[in-house]
Structures are given as C-alpha cells and as structure tokens.
C-alpha cells in the first residue's frame, strides 16, 4: 500500500550478507528475518495495520538470529514471489532484489506462496472519484504534476467504469495527493533520499482512505528518458493509485502492481494482470468507443468551427468525399460531396461556419473544396505531385497551410496568405506516412509524421522552421495532432498492437499511453474547447468510430 522501508519509525535495513544459509547464526540472520517479517513472509510480533492482509497464508514463526527450517521456508516463499531461484539461501540475486526501492506494505501470498493480482477486499462505492492536491513538488511544474497524475488515473479508467476528476481539497475528495517529507502524521514517516518513495491507503474503512503521499526528499521526473537518479512520477503514481483503488501486490514480472521498481526506469501501461485485478473489483469499462457507422475506404479527418461542433470527412466506397457532422445535439449525415479521392482527406476550419477540405486526386495533385457558410464550393486543383494524403492547419482567419509528402518522400508545404496560394516549398525529411499539422497560436505551426524508423518526428514553425526532432514510439500509421490551448499539443497514432496511442506536450513531452480500440486507419483528432478532445478512426468493420476526452476521462 506504499513505498516504505520504515517499521515503527525506524529505517528497514536490507539484508546484505551474501551466502547466509541454513544453520547460520548472528546479526546477519536476524536482519534477514526482520526484513522477511516486515514484508509478510514471517509472522511479525505486532502486525498492526497489516493484520487483515496477512491472513492469506499461514506465516512461519522463527527463532530470531538462527537460520532455521522456518527461515528457509520463508526465504523460499520470498524468492518464489519475486521470480528468483528458490535456493533457500541469501544469494546475490536475492540481496539485489531486497535492496531495490519497494512498496512498504506486505506481499500478500496465497497458500502456495505465489500470487498474481490480489484484490485487497475494500472498494469505493462510487465510480466517480474525485482527487485533489494538498501541495506540489518543486521538482516539477504544477502542470507536469497534474499531467502525471492524469496519465496515471487514465490507465485505470481506461479499463474500468471509474472516472477521476480534480477538485479542491476543500471539497473533501476521495483521494488527496501530498508531497511531504519525514514524519507527516500518518504513522508511516518518510526517511529521506533513497529510502521511502511513496505510499497510499486502501479504500474505506482504512485510515486516510485513498490518499497518496510522495516523499519530497526524492527527485521526481516526468520527461522521458527518466534520469538514472530520479523516479518516474507517472509510474509510481499509477502503482500507488492501484492501492488507492483496492489492489495489493502482484508477483507477475512486469505488472504495475509488482512490489519493486528502480530509479531511472519507467512503465506507463498496465499489464494484463493489473487489468484483471482491477476489473475483478469494479468490472470492465463499458464501451470505450462508439460507432458512427458508414463504410470508409480511408482514414477520417475532423475539424471544428464552434464549440460543440464537429465535421468529419472520409472517402467512401465510391472514392468520393463523404461528410458527417455533430450539430451540438445529434449526429447528422452522411452526405456525399463528390470528387474522386486517392488519399485520406485533410480538413480545417479557420472561422465560424467555414471548412476547407483537401485531398489527392487521380492526377496526384492537391485538390481543394470548401464550405463558405452557405454552400460547398470547388473542387479546384492546386497542383503538385503528392505521394501521400495532405493535412492542413490554420493559425488565423483566412490563412491556410497545407502539407504533404512529395514524390521525393520529403515534406512539402503550400499556403494561402489571404489573397493567393503560395509555394510549393520543400521542408525536407523522409516521411513514411501522411503528415499532420496543427496551429496553437498566431504564426505557430507544428507538423508531425512517421519517419524511416517508424518513430514519431516533429518539425515546427515559429518565425522560422526548426529541425526535425524524434519523439520516439513505434507507429503503424500516420499521426494526427490537435491543440486545445496555447502550448498544448495532443498527438495520436496507431501502435504495433493496432490500438490508438496518445502523447502530449504541456511544458514537456509525456510518454505514450494506450487508448485501446482496434484501428484500421490513421486516427484523427480535433479540439473544440478547453480540455476537450474528440478522436476518430476506422474500425475493423470499416465504420467510423469515436472516442473523446471530456476533461476528466476518456469516454464513452
């Protein structure tokens, strides 16, 4: 239930005397026995808060200071739980495992001494959980801390009916997040750098139910790669929230709920064992994507020209452009807008009731059609030789910037300056997908594409074009990007598992998170309001599927 090496206010000493075996005696044996007692393998003198979670298996009683039969049995159970050779001796591998930072609450075992996920037994009676910050760490900006916590909660909300939303501490949220040092009044004092990392409390009736505390003496990080001397706040927070929701530890290697993690490491996904565990308590998430029908022969693209307005475009079975829209109360369409498309469409809105759509035609040139507020106009040819679908962004009224891969596989750019079309210009790179472009302020454009290494690559304009930078990942589609506020970017792509993956920038780039689904196209995303994102893709049935972030959780 927390990262701790403290018992009764004293720092736990890690066993270090390699080679201890049955028959040995002395302080080294006593140190080993106290460690095994502390973490649920030998019956403790006073289990205290742990009594209710130590009853899963009978615990041996030992002669303190003597490496007796019961100590051998306890050590082998520890080794089995941690996937180590069951030597029954304190070998190098076991000492290395015991020296890792770990959760301070016991490892719950079944009668055989091994456990996959373990549901602790308590659960929240509501699925709409609130959380609040009592304070923040100076290691990171408040936005970075909030982003880490949001990411951690999303891992659990993606696979359960649970939702999480931030409120003020004064509203008495179910989960309070604190960064504290030393003795902070909950009976589990932190012990400085390199010891206790964090701890959390189970759902009611436990003391401080759900709350998660992080040791301010540690140095926290969120930007990948995590430095070797720091701890990934996303990973540790996700683990702690597993306890906040009612899970104990797992013996499965790679599970988020395994007891031990090392500095510099990161994991930002749930193992199937974690998913099975949390769903055993709260059930599986209902839905996850909604179908909007249709039969698509391309990826969709989406724009928004007003709050709660969405316009989605895709190629149909007749290779024409088709349109479906959300008018604020219901989905309308499909309607055919004609043309013969040989690519995914690209769409943007630069003003109220204005939409511009682009696609590659039969001649591999760029073609353009637009809605002027009263009728559809075009198609018009804008020339060029495209080897991908186009994408388009707008950073002010009557400004359009169109991007596509050229015949040389580089990024090419054409723009409307309010009076005439300019370009084409080459922006270099070697693209293996359609590009994606978004603008979050005047004179700012961010472009993304998949590179030769299948990673996400990024180039931006702000007074001049930047270099290309790699943002990692392994993409099996082109990306798409949206922005819901200045300095905020959300990028989506299909991963090697065909699910949709998400990465975002807000003061720094996050890791990748999975949003599930089975995609058969590039995804598309748009934002029509603060902290609102709508994402679309073609599914296995070739229909249009939709998922959205409502400010607190991914829906439906």
Phi, psi of 28 (to 5 degrees): -65, -40
Q: 3-state class of 363 per DSSP?
A: coil
17-98: CATH number: 1.10.101.10
> Rounded CA gap, 398 and 350, in Å?
6
190: left (phi over 0), alpha (psi -120 to 50) or beta: beta
Contact 266, 253 (CB under 8 A): no
Residues 6+ apart with CB under 8 A from 62: 33, 42, 68, 70, 71, 74
Q: Which residues are catalytic?
A: 240
Does CATH place domain 128-282 in 3.40.390.10? Answer: yes
> pLDDT digit of tens for each residue in the chain (556 aa)?
333 333 334 455 679 899 999 999 999 999 999 889 878 898 876 554 555 555 555 788 899 999 999 999 999 999 999 999 999 999 999 999 998 887 667 776 554 444 455 566 689 999 999 999 999 999 999 999 999 999 999 889 878 889 899 999 999 999 999 999 988 888 777 877 876 788 888 899 877 899 999 999 999 999 989 999 999 999 999 999 999 999 988 888 889 999 888 899 999 888 888 988 998 999 876 557 888 999 999 999 999 999 999 999 999 999 999 999 999 999 999 999 999 999 999 999 999 999 999 999 999 999 999 999 999 999 999 999 999 999 999 999 999 999 999 999 999 999 999 999 999 999 999 999 999 999 999 999 999 999 999 999 999 999 999 999 999 999 999 999 999 999 999 999 999 988 899 999 999 999 888 888 889 999 999 999 999 999 999 998 899 999 999 988 888 8
Contact 528, 308 (CB under 8 A): yes
Residue 146 is inside which H or E element, if any? helix 142-157
Peptide bond into 424 cis (omega under 30): yes
Fold designation for 291-555? Neuraminidase (2.120.10)
Q: 3-state class of 236 per DSSP?
A: helix
Contact 8, 91 (CB under 8 A): no
**Pairing assessment for the beta strands 436-438 and 421-426 based on DSSP bridges:** unpaired
The token pair that represents 538 in the structure block: 């073609």
Quick one: which of 340, 426, 339, 337 has its CA closest to 385? 426
The token pair that represents 5 in the structure block: 């090496």
Domain boundaries, the chain: 17-98, 128-282, 291-555
């Amino acid at each position: 239930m927390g990262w701790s090496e403290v018992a009764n206010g004293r720092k736990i000493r890690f066993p270090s005397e390699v080679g201890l075996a049955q028959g040995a005696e002395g302080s080294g044996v006593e140190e080993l026995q106290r460690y095994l007692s502390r973490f649920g393998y030998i019956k403790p003198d006073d289990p205290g808060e742990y009594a209710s979670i130590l009853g899963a298996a009978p615990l041996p009683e030992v002669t303190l200071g003597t490496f007796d039969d019961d100590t051998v049995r306890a050590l082998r159970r520890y080794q089995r739980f941690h996937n180590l050779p069951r030597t029954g001796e304190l070998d190098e591998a076991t000492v290395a495992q015991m020296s890792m930072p770990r959760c301070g609450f016991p490892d719950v075992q079944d009668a055989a001494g091994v456990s996959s996920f373990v549901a602790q037994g308590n659960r929240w009676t509501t699925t709409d959980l609130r959380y609040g910050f009592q304070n923040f760490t100076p290691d990171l900006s408040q936005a970075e801390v909030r982003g880490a916590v949001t990411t951690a909660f999303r891992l659990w909300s993606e696979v359960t009916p649970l939702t999480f939303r931030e409120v003020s501490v004064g509203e008495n949220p179910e989960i309070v997040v604190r960064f504290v040092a030393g003795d902070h009044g909950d009976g589990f004092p932190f012990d400085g750098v390199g010891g206790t990392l964090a701890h959390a409390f189970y759902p009611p009736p436990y003391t401080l139910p759900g709350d998660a505390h992080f040791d301010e003496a540690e140095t926290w990080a969120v930007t990948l790669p995590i430095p070797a001397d720091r701890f990934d706040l996303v990973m540790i927070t996700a683990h702690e929230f597993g306890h906040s929701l009612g899970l104990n530890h797992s013996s499965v290697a790679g599970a988020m709920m395994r007891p031990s993690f090392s500095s510099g490491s990161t994991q930002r996904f749930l193992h199937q064992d974690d998913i099975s565990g949390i769903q055993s308590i709260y059930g599986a998430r209902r839905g996850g994507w909604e179908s909007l029908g249709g039969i698509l022969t391309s990826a969709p693209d989406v724009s928004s020209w007003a709050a709660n307005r969405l316009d989605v475009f895709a190629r149909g079975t007749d290779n024409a452009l088709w349109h479906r829209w959300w008018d604020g109360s219901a989905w309308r369409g499909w309607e055919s807008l004609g043309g013969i498309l040989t690519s995914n469409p690209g769409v943007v809105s630069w003003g109220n009731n204005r939409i511009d759509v682009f696609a590659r035609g039969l001649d591999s040139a760029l073609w353009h059609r637009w809605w002027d507020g009263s009728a559809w106009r075009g198609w018009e040819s804008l020339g060029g030789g495209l080897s991908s679908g186009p994408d388009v962004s707008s950073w002010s009224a009557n400004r359009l910037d169109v991007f596509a891969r050229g015949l040389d596989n580089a990024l090419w750019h054409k723009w409307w300056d309010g009076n005439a079309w300019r370009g084409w210009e080459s922006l270099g790179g070697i693209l293996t997908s359609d590009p994606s472009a978004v603008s979050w302020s005047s004179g700012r454009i961010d472009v993304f594409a998949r590179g030769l290494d299948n990673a996400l690559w990024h180039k931006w304009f702000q007074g001049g074009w930047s270099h290309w930078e790699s943002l990692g990942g392994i993409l099996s589609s082109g990306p798409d990007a949206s922005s819901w506020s200045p300095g905020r970017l959300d990028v989506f792509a299909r991963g090697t598992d065909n699910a949709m993956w998400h990465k975002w920038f807000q003061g720094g780039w996050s890791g990748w998170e999975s949003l599930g689904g089975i995609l058969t196209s590039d995804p598309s995303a748009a934002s029509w309001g603060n902290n609102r994102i709508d994402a679309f893709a073609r599914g296995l049935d070739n229909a249009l599927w939709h998922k959205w972030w409502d400010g607190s959780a991914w829906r439906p």
